[in-house]
């Protein structure tokens, strides 16, 4: 059942005896046993169950608490069931006009814990589903227990009553120890880490002019700082938040998944990269790679469509990378495994772009790469035909 962990050891606690007086339905006995198991009660005594004993329906309803039912003791009279007990509580929802203490389940649990700690036996009586305990049965008890419920609707079923008493007793017997706590997988963040994150956050917010108007800046900063201070973050939390801020600041890094430029802007960016490539020295490689990263985040419409085809089509899935350096060159798409590059030709390209592509194609072919040139209008017009062309290039490489 959900929440049951058979690998854990059950708590060995000496608890009160649960006495069910003439229970009518096997299902209710089983559910009462299940409630007992939830709170460490193991001793069950049954007085004259109406449908006999043992009960298959009780076992089905016990949901794994068979170990309680298997050891249950059967009695013909209530007097025999409590003969060895020195403290007996009678649970009831009705006033029986008897001169004996009436208490709630918490007070009864406190007295029970102390009584059992002295080495004596205590029992809790639960009556029939329909009529509860009779007056003469309540008279056998030392105390009356009733529950703080809605007086206009006070009736509880048998398992509910057992569960409430078991809960109050178990809570006291275990000092309300919870079965698990929040896992502490990372140390608390230091003030230095908090400040580093906050400085980074403020720096990025200033770039987008979030902290305005100027006269409200300090108040906004205090409010922001308090948000994170109240969190009691861990070191891992700080690392995650750093990553979140930088991901938002830098834009989406996933290949062909977005960016901030439209297709026309992305085309101009390609031209800028090509122009910068002309006559550059080896010391310019970091700048070129930076432009390539920006281009990777801002694809043209044709690049985006072709990339989706290359990643989703089973013929190519997992083989190609986009805007990835090969030596000093960065082809549009490249398969290192198949040594194939795919270059997109956009209408109206500048001379710099054309020259850069020709230089790149020559360089790649000299090193054993096959290069497929694809026009962007072909991608928009018939993507499947373009895919077939790329497939033929791959096949040609394997021959």
Please tell me if the domain spanning 191-250 has the same topology as the one spanning 263-398.
no
Query: What is the model's pLDDT at position 177?
Result: 77
pLDDT at position 280, please?
A: 47
How crowded is residue 152: how many other Cβ atoms within 10 Å of its Cβ?
5
Going by pLDDT thresholds of 50, 70 and 90, the confidence category of residue 283 is very low
Confidence of residue 182 (pLDDT cuts 50, 70, 90): low
Q: In the structure, what pLDDT confidence band is assigned to residue 153 with cuts at 50, 70 and 90?
A: confident
Domain 191-250 coded CATH 1.10.8: yes
pTM as predicted: 0.50
- What's residue 290's pLDDT? 59
How far apart are alpha carbons 355 and 171 in whole angstroms?
Answer: 80
pLDDT, one tens digit per residue, over 28-41 is 999 999 999 999 99
pLDDT(16) > 80: yes
- 92, 82, 91: which is closest to 46 by C-alpha? 82
**pLDDT tens digits for range 91-132:** 998 887 888 999 999 999 999 999 999 999 999 999 998 889
Q: Each residue of 326-347: pLDDT tens digit?
A: 877 888 888 888 888 998 888 7
Average pLDDT of the residues in 15-28: 94
Give the pLDDT confidence score for residue 234 in this predicted structure: 83
Residue-wise pLDDT for 293-322, tens only, equals: 666 666 777 888 888 888 888 887 778 888
Q: Is the pLDDT of residue 160 over 80?
A: yes
Strands 321-322 and 333-335: antiparallel
CA distance 1 to 64: 8
What percent of the chain lies above the pLDDT cut of 90? 34
Confirm if 349 and 376 have CB atoms less than 8 A apart. no
pLDDT at residue 281, rounded to an integer: 43
Alpha-carbon gap, residue 61 to 341, rounded angstroms: 67
**pLDDT tens per residue, range 137-152:** 999 999 999 998 888 8
Query: Range with the lowest mean pLDDT among 3-17, 215-229, 239-253?
Result: 3-17
- The answer on pLDDT for 399 being more than 50 is no
- The pLDDT tens digits of the residues spanning 380-396 come to 888 888 888 888 888 77
Residue 291's pLDDT is what?
59
DSSP class per residue in 206-248: HHTT-S-SGGGHHHHHHHHHHHHHTT--BHHHHHHHHHHHHHH
How far, in Å, CA of 206 to CA of 186, rounded?
Answer: 30
Q: Which one has a higher pLDDT value, 44 or 315?
A: 44
Q: Is the pLDDT of residue 27 over 90?
A: yes
Averaged pLDDT, 221-233: 89
17-173: which CATH number, 3.40.50.10420, 3.10.20.340, 3.40.1280.10, 3.30.1780.10? 3.40.1280.10
151 DSSP 8-state letter = T
Domain ranges of the chain: 17-173, 191-250, 263-398
Averaged over 219-242, what is the pLDDT? 87
Q: CA end-to-end span of the chain, whole Å?
A: 59
pLDDT of residue 116: 92
397 or 331, which is more confident: 331
Lowest average pLDDT, out of 122-136, 239-253, 255-269, goes to 255-269
Question: Across the chain, what does the average pLDDT equal?
Answer: 82
Q: Which CATH architecture has domain 263-398?
A: 3-Layer(aba) Sandwich (3.40)
- Considering only residues 58 and 1, tell me which one the structure prediction assigns the higher pLDDT: 58
């Amino acid at each position: 059942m959900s929440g049951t962990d058979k690998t854990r050891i059950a708590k060995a606690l000496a608890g009160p005896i649960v006495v069910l007086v003439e229970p009518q339905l096997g299902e209710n006995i089983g559910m009462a046993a299940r409630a007992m198991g939830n709170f460490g009660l193991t001793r069950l005594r049954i007085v004259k169950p109406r449908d006999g004993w043992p009960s298959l329906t009780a076992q089905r309803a016990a949901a794994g608490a068979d170990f309680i039912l298997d050891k249950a003791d059967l009695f013909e009279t209530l007097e025999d069931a409590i003969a060895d007990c020195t403290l007996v509580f009678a649970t009831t929802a009705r006033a029986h006009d008897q001169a004996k203490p009436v208490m709630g389940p918490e007070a009864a649990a406190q007295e029970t814990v102390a009584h059992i700690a002295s080495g004596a036996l205590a029992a809790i009586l639960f009556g029939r589903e329909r009529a509860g305990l009779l007056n003469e049965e309540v008279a056998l008890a030392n105390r009356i227990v009733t529950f703080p419920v809605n007086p206009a609707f006070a009736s509880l079923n048998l398992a509910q009553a057992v569960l409430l008493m078991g809960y109050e007793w178990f809570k006291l017997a275990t000092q309300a120890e919870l079965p698990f706590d929040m896992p502490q997988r990372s140390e608390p963040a230091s003030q230095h880490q908090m400040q580093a994150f906050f400085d980074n956050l403020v720096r990025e917010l200033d770039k987008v002019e979030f902290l305005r108007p100027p006269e409200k800046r300090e108040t906004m900063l205090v409010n922001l700082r308090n948000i994170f201070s109240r969190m009691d973050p861990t070191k891992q939390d700080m690392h995650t938040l750093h990553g979140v801020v930088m991901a938002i600041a830098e834009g989406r890094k996933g290949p062909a998944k977005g960016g901030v430029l439209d297709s026309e802007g992305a085309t101009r960016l390609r031209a800028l990269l090509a122009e910068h490539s002309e006559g550059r020295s080896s010391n310019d490689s970091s700048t070129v790679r930076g432009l390539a990263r920006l281009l990777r985040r801002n694809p043209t419409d044709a690049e985006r469509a072709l990339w989706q085809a290359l990643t989703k089509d089973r013929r190519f899935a997992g083989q190609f990378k986009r805007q990835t350096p090969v030596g000093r060159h960065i082809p549009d798409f490249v398969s290192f495994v198949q040594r194939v590059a795919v270059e997109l030709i956009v209408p109206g390209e500048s001379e710099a772009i054309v020259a850069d592509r020709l230089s790149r194609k020559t360089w790649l072919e000299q090193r054993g790469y096959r290069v497929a040139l694809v026009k962007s209008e072909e991608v928009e017009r018939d993507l499947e035909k373009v895919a077939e062309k790329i497939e033929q290039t791959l096949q040609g490489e394997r021959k």
